[in-house]
Amino acid sequence: MENPVILETRNITKDFPGVRALDSVSFQLKKGEVLGLVGENGAGKSTLMKIFSGAYPSNTYTGEIFIEGKRCVFNGPKDSQGAGIAIIYQELNLIPELTVAENIFLGREPTVGKTDIIDRKKLFSRAKDPLGLLNIPLPAQEQIKNLSIGKQQMVEIAKALSYSAKILILDEPTSALTEQEVEVLLKLIDSLRARGVSMIYISHKLDEIFKITDSVTVMRDGKTVASRRTAELSRQEMVSLMVGRNIEDMYPKKAAAIGEAVLEVKDLFVSHPFLVGEKVVKEVSFKVRKGEVLGISGLMGSGRSELVTSIFGAFPADSSGEVYVEGKRVRIRSPYEAINYGLGLVTEDRKLYGLVLGMQVGENITLTCLEKLSWHQIIMRRRENELINKYIGALRVKTRSSETVVNTLSGGNQQKVVIAKWLATGPKVLLLDEPTRGVDVAAKAEIYQLMDNLAGEGLGIVMVSSDLPEVLSMSDRILIMHEGRMVKELQKNEATQEKIMFYATGGK
């Protein structure tokens, strides 16, 4: 009854200087199935994928790969493509100025006779085959830059199909997609499965794993710790397999004593950075009290990030409205002023906005508060180190030393460094924008615990998040945004995922 195995690895071991990234990994993908590959950041998923893609040549690791029972040796991307493997990466590799068809056939364009001139007619008609396999209409002559991220991803998949790939690997495919786009993608995966394409689906989002996969392989510390039918696994089991221990309570939220308003925003409007007359935030008013966690929910582009960055004085466009910190009217025109008023902003994308990746862990932590660690211009090392060690300890940042370059840390630990650098300023209000995106389960639980403790200490916390379970369980109150407006406020006890989605998608 079982399908034959299409892709198999035996005892793959890969060492990096000082670390064993993969420890005799044996792994099987069956024909026509969707296999979910899950594990914390640093569990070895990406390394395994780079072996499948040929990015690591075969002499840099030990072990064997078989495709349909035949031993394969991958020394470069060409080898792996030739064997029928296609990988859709998180970062898309399309050329924005070229059309859909040109991107699909990049490097193997049909030409006129024996010349080097591209036969555009043939190009566009050939593109219809792979595009037809998608469930949505995608014009072959559209430029990539005019397509949404979701559609661009479809182009990548069409490209893979045009190679007649037998094995499709999707690496965190939904991390940049809207809810609707996710639906479209999942449907496409379904129909590709029906056509007999085998897929590996890597994701942190367990909901999707349960929805779409037939079986699941869990990786931890460079090993495959379990391979099961998805139907036989519970969410709890999967999480404890990933972290290697039982997480009884992922969301520890306990009610903190809620005090008076620490941050209040009245009638805030924020202009669009480029479009004259457009507003990205419209007439938003809210309060957050000491010890309270205020969740802000909404779809991407609903103005959530613009709202918090603008309060923080970091949004590159005009705003109007009133902001009060502890009852006092303040005008914040720069992050520097925001910090002085006691605000901290844990930004959305830690690699772009949160960290100086080439600098040390310690240097990143104190970047926000060097002023109080200096005598005039001169940095007082002892005080700086005390502060650094305090936060590395308090947040349990896993790093070899405070002088380790932050780039080498795992995603979860990098995120802790971002939080540490804002705690180091001694804030009264912490604005968190997607605080757990791309963070593994264990670190997530720790970050929630930390939020809890901070609220307990009387901090006001504003949390923008797309992760509905997170919003529901961590917030005392939830504000929902739609097209720049605050459309609904829900108390903790009345909020459900369905209600939030209803208002976030414009329901009234």
Partner 1 sequence: MNNQGKSGLGRVIIGKYGNLIGLIVLIVLTTILTNGMFFTQRNLINVLRQVSVNGILAVGMTLVIITGGIDLSVGSVVALTGVIAALLQPQGTAAAIVLTLLAGAAIGGCNGFFVTKFRIPSFIITLGMMTIARGLALVFSKGEAISGLNDSFSAISESYISPSISLTVFGFLALLIVFLFVKERKSSGYERKIFTFNFIGVMSVLFIAAAVAVLVWLIGFRGMPAGVAVFLGIAFLGAYTLNQTRFGRYVYAIGGNEEASRLSGINVKLVKFLVFLIMGVLAAVSGMVLAARLNSGVPTSGVMFELDAIASVVIGGTSLSGGYGSVGGSIIGAFIIGTLNNGMQLLHIDPFYQEIAKGVIIIGAVLMDRKKK
Q: Which two tokens stand for residue 6?
A: 């299409």
CB 215 within 8 A of CB 28: no
Please report which residue ranges of 83-177 form alpha helices under DSSP H.
Answer: 100-104, 120-133, 149-162
Footprint (CB under 8 A) of partner 1, residues 19-48: none
Among 109-117, 174-182, 325-333, 399-407, which window interacts with partner 1 (CB under 8 A)?
399-407
Residue 370 interacts with partner 1 (CB under 8 A): yes or no = yes
Residue 372 interacts with partner 1 (CB under 8 A): yes or no = no
Among 128-136, 155-163, 377-385, 487-495, which window interacts with partner 1 (CB under 8 A)?
377-385
Query: Count residues contacting partner 1 (CB under 8 A)?
Result: 37
Please identify, using beta-carbon distances, which residue of 369 and 504 lies nearer to partner 1: 369
Among 148-156, 352-360, 440-448, 456-464, which window interacts with partner 1 (CB under 8 A)?
352-360
Element counts in the chain: helices (H) and strands (E):
16, 22
Query: Which of 474, 462, 472 is CA-nearest to residue 504?
Result: 472
Please identify, using beta-carbon distances, which residue of 156 and 363 lies nearer to partner 1: 363
Q: From residue 410, how far is each of 122, 308, 432, 481 by CA, in Å?
A: 46, 26, 19, 32
By the 10 Å C-beta count (0-12 exposed, 13-18 middle, 19+ buried), 87 is classed as buried
H or E stretch including 456? helix 441-456
Among 52-60, 170-178, 290-298, 359-367, which window interacts with partner 1 (CB under 8 A)?
359-367
State which of residues 38, 49, 167, 388 lies at the interface with partner 1 (CB under 8 A): 388
Residue 333 interacts with partner 1 (CB under 8 A): yes or no = no
State which of residues 4, 17, 113, 137 lies at the interface with partner 1 (CB under 8 A): 17
Residue 336 interacts with partner 1 (CB under 8 A): yes or no = yes
Q: How distant is the alpha carbon of residue 258 from its chain centre?
A: 31
State which of residues 133, 177, 367, 487 lies at the interface with partner 1 (CB under 8 A): 367
Footprint (CB under 8 A) of partner 1, residues 292-321: 312, 314
- For residues 485 and 299, give the distance between their C-alpha atoms in angstroms, rounded to a whole number: 12
In the complex, the smallest distance separating the C-beta of residue 358 from partner 1, rounded to whole angstroms, is: 5
Residues 165, 213, 442, 504: is their CA dihedral positive or negative? positive
Please report which residue ranges of 106-258 form alpha helices under DSSP H.
Answer: 120-133, 149-162, 179-194, 206-212, 235-243
Residue 60 interacts with partner 1 (CB under 8 A): yes or no = no
Please identify, using beta-carbon distances, which residue of 78 and 372 lies nearer to partner 1: 372
CB 199 within 8 A of CB 35: yes
Please identify, using beta-carbon distances, which residue of 111 and 334 lies nearer to partner 1: 334
- For residues 423 and 496, give the distance between their C-alpha atoms in angstroms, rounded to a whole number: 31
In the complex, the smallest distance separating the C-beta of residue 55 from partner 1, rounded to whole angstroms, is: 17
Residue 339 interacts with partner 1 (CB under 8 A): yes or no = yes
Residue 247 interacts with partner 1 (CB under 8 A): yes or no = no
- DSSP symbol at 145: G
Please identify, using beta-carbon distances, which residue of 54 and 354 lies nearer to partner 1: 354
Query: Which of 469, 455, 437 is CA-nearest to residue 172?
Result: 437
Q: Which two tokens stand for residue 414?
A: 């990098």
Q: Which residues bind partner 1 (CB under 8 A)?
A: 17, 312, 314, 334-336, 338-339, 345, 347, 352-359, 363, 367-368, 370-371, 374, 377-379, 381-382, 385, 388-389, 400-403, 421
